Amino acid sequence: MKLGVLFSGGKDSILALHKAAEKEKVVCLITLVSENKESFMFHTPNIDVTALQAEALGLPLIRKATAGEPEEELKDLEEAIAQAVKDFEVDGVVTGAVESVYQAARIQQICNRLGVWCVNPLWKRNQKALLEEVVAEGFKTVISGVFAYPLDKTWLGKQIDPEMIERLVALSEEYGLSPSGEGGEIETTVLDAPMFKKKIEVLDSEVEAQGNSGVFRIKQARLTEK
């Protein structure tokens, strides 16, 4: 089966890609670039880094802009998936969905209309176990966005490691946060992973934060040898 991967550059989409590639052939990546930073469907911090990640993976990238308006953005997603079907003859689409019924249901509906499979390798995974797998597999993942109390700017740009996982689980128990950010509390950017032929080096970045909301913005980056 030929698969396209809905690709945000975050830990979930890249872990889903790795799992899909163990069983099937991944032939392209599909990225939606939303103008709406509050999009319900699409990851936005450091979305431009997907171009470097695609190069590191050696995979073609279908990149489509969307205004990010609720429901309207789904038409843009459908057009991007249709392009993957046309250009790369994909039989299915991989998502990094873990808990979001809103996202998973809408992607499934699009796949049904286009006559392709919807593949969700991470669906209903234990979130602590998912984070532990990301670390154990050698992903270099940094926090690129925080959007919930009591998270603040001190988390931004930090790499996910075993100590951070324990802190996130503790916050989940105390405040009800989703440890892996499934409620939109956290966004991530992956700088290296097992399938990357090169790693991403951040040359220039900035933190923009106010209270319990902020982003770690990568302003300049390049690929370097691993």
The confidence score (pLDDT) of residue 183 equals 82
Close Cβ partners of 34 (under 8 Å, ≥ 6 residues apart): 41, 42, 44, 47, 66, 67, 68, 73
State which of 102, 119, 136 marks the end of a domain.
Answer: 119
* Cβ–Cβ under 8 Å, residues 47 and 217: no
Q: Are residues 90 and 114 in the same domain?
A: yes
Range of the domain at 216: 127-224
How far is 170 from 167, CA to CA, in rounded Å? 5
Q: Are residues 74 and 169 in the same domain?
A: no
* Cβ–Cβ under 8 Å, residues 156 and 186: no
The confidence score (pLDDT) of residue 41 equals 63
The confidence score (pLDDT) of residue 39 equals 63
The confidence score (pLDDT) of residue 102 equals 81
pLDDT tens, residue order, the chain (226 aa) = 999 999 999 999 999 999 999 999 999 999 999 887 666 566 678 999 999 999 999 999 999 998 877 778 899 999 999 999 999 999 999 999 998 888 889 999 999 999 999 999 999 999 999 999 999 999 999 999 999 999 999 999 999 999 999 999 999 999 999 999 988 899 999 999 999 999 999 999 999 999 999 999 999 999 999 9
The confidence score (pLDDT) of residue 99 equals 86
How far is 116 from 110, CA to CA, in rounded Å? 9
The confidence score (pLDDT) of residue 35 equals 81
Looking at residue 197, which CATH number applies to its domain?
3.90.1490.10
The confidence score (pLDDT) of residue 40 equals 56
Q: Are residues 137 and 98 in the same domain?
A: no
The confidence score (pLDDT) of residue 29 equals 98
Q: Are residues 171 and 210 in the same domain?
A: yes
Q: Are residues 87 and 164 in the same domain?
A: no
Domain count for the chain, please give it: 2
Q: Are residues 213 and 156 in the same domain?
A: yes
- Here the tokens at position 137 are 């597999």
Q: Are residues 132 and 115 in the same domain?
A: no
State which of 119, 142, 165 marks the end of a domain.
Answer: 119
State which of 72, 87, 119 marks the end of a domain.
Answer: 119
DSSP bridge pairs for 224: 199
